[in-house]
Amino acid sequence: MIKKIGVLTSGGDAPGMNAAIRAVVRTALSKGMEVYGIRRGYVGLINGDIFQMDARSVSDIIHRGGTMLYTARCPEFRTEEGLDRAKAKCEELGLEGLVVIGGDGSFRGAADLSARGILCVGIPGTIDNDIACTEYTIGYDTAMNTAMELADKLRDTSQSHDRCTVVEVMGRNAGYIAVNTGIACGAIEVITKEMPYDLDSLAKKMLEAKKNGKQNFVVVVAEGIGNSTEIANVLQEKTGIESRATILGHVQRGGSPTVRDRVAATEFAYYAVGLLEQGIGNRVVGMQNNEIVDFDIQEALAMKKPYEEKLHKIAEEIGF
Ligand code: ADP
Ligand code: F6P
């Protein structure tokens, strides 16, 4: 039986991470385990910025965005020396297991630490939903709802001015946020790296729709494309329709998590602590067919996630 575990958040923050921390702490306590919070991800693990948590440590956080444990990127953790220091710190404190809430990079670190005898279980936390072993990652729903609300606001002004609004959403290299937001806000076109696009045919489509009485045009662009202002300029040039680009940026990472994020975070965390309790490490928790499951970290990292091509095609077909 594992009796003492730690919890940390690592990489980019995501709304719902606090709900996950809360559930890790409360689950561990309910199972009679001691639980320690580690600040700023692997940085805090290496430097010993670690404190014991009780039930009240996680009061009043379930509805808050961000992460009460803070997060960081830690280049030192990628080195042998950094990993040895982290292991030594765990041993000094008697931490036998660790819950790592983050993305693929954080899980690579968790695998390295597991190989050194510290049991690590990863929980997928990123707004991008780009982790292959899971249908869902904490923060995705909140980020998309934020993007949709902001795109709706842009549509108001766009409609008033007979303009085109090019909205760039986050997603690192993945188009999941873009395609879902595009559908949700009635975009005429979604542009992602996963599907070919052609600005000439988009311009033609816009002009035909204009002839047909359409007044505003929302084009959602995934950040991986990297040139939304240029796309707006090209569309304006080709169509004569005034166009503006807006990069939504980090606002998508903040805000109170939605029900979906709070519930998913809680389920992942409950399951992760259950694995550690049984002495199982080097796993990452995921969601498949709405069920919580777990995978070997290396196997999870080798998986490929399909793009939502069907959804993308629907967006293309009915955006006119
Ligand atoms: P995410 O977890 O969101 O993918 P990053 O890729 O920035 O975010 O990774 C977060 C942290 O995980 C890094 O700062 C580093 O400490 C650790 N990490 C990332 N990649 C590796 C790796 N290959 N080996 C060990 N640790 C890693
Ligand atoms: O992974 C989450 C994410 O917000 C991506 O969508 C984006 O590409 C990246 O992080 C931004 O990272 P940073 O906060 O370091 O600018």
| pLDDT tens-place string over residues 296-320 | 999 999 999 999 999 999 999 999 9
Selecting among 13, 104, 112, 128, the annotated active-site residue is 128
153: enclosing H helix or E strand: helix 140-160
Q: Which residue's CA is the nearest one to ligand 2's atom 6?
A: 171
Residue 127: predicted pLDDT: 98
Asked if pLDDT for residue 118 goes beyond 90, the answer is yes
Cα 88 to middle of ligand 1, angstroms: 20
Residue 1: predicted pLDDT: 82
Q: Which residue's CA is the nearest one to ligand 2's atom 14?
A: 12
| pLDDT, tens digit, 9 for 90 and up, residues 176-219 | 999 999 999 999 999 999 999 999 999 999 999 999 999 999 99
Residue 296: predicted pLDDT: 98
Contacts of 27 by beta carbon, 8 Å cutoff, 6+ apart? 269, 270, 273, 274
Q: Which residue matches tokens 């000439």?
A: 200
Contacts of 194 by beta carbon, 8 Å cutoff, 6+ apart? 174, 175, 307, 309, 312
Question: Which DSSP string do the residues of 173-234 spell out, in sequence order?
Answer: T--HHHHHHHHHTT-SEEE-TTS---HHHHHHHHHHHHHTT---EEEEEEGGG--HHHHHHH
Q: Which of 74, 104, 127 to mutate to test the pocket of ligand 2 (most atoms within 8 A of CB)?
A: 127
- β-bridge mates for residue 286, sequence order: 293
Q: Report the share of the chain in percent with pLDDT over 70.
A: 100
Q: Which residues line ligand 1 (CB under 6 A)?
A: 10-12, 42, 73-74, 77-78, 102-106, 108-109, 112, 126
Cα 302 to middle of ligand 1, angstroms: 15
Which atom of ligand 1 is the closest one to the Cα of 42?
Answer: 16
Residue 112: predicted pLDDT: 97
Asked if pLDDT for residue 226 goes beyond 90, the answer is no
Q: Which residue matches tokens 């498949």?
A: 288
| pLDDT, tens digit, 9 for 90 and up, residues 162-176 | 999 999 999 999 999
Q: Which residue's CA is the nearest one to ligand 1's atom 12?
A: 106
Q: Which of 9, 10, 101, 128 to mutate to test the pocket of ligand 2 (most atoms within 8 A of CB)?
A: 128
- Distances from the Cα of 39 to the Cα of 20, 48, 51, 135, angstroms: 15, 9, 8, 28
Q: Which residue's CA is the nearest one to ligand 1's atom 19?
A: 105
Q: Which residues line ligand 2 (CB under 6 A)?
A: 12, 126-128, 170-172, 223, 253
| pLDDT, tens digit, 9 for 90 and up, residues 253-271 | 999 999 999 999 999 999 9
| pLDDT, tens digit, 9 for 90 and up, residues 132-154 | 999 999 999 999 999 999 999 99
Cα 198 to Cα 191: distance, rounded to the nearest angstrom: 9
54 given a catalytic annotation: no
| pLDDT, tens digit, 9 for 90 and up, residues 32-57 | 999 999 999 999 999 999 999 999 99
- Distances from the Cα of 308 to the Cα of 89, 176, 209, 289, angstroms: 42, 7, 25, 16
Q: How many residues does the chain have?
A: 320
Q: Which residue matches tokens 């550690």?
A: 276
| pLDDT, tens digit, 9 for 90 and up, residues 75-103 | 999 999 999 999 999 999 999 999 999 99
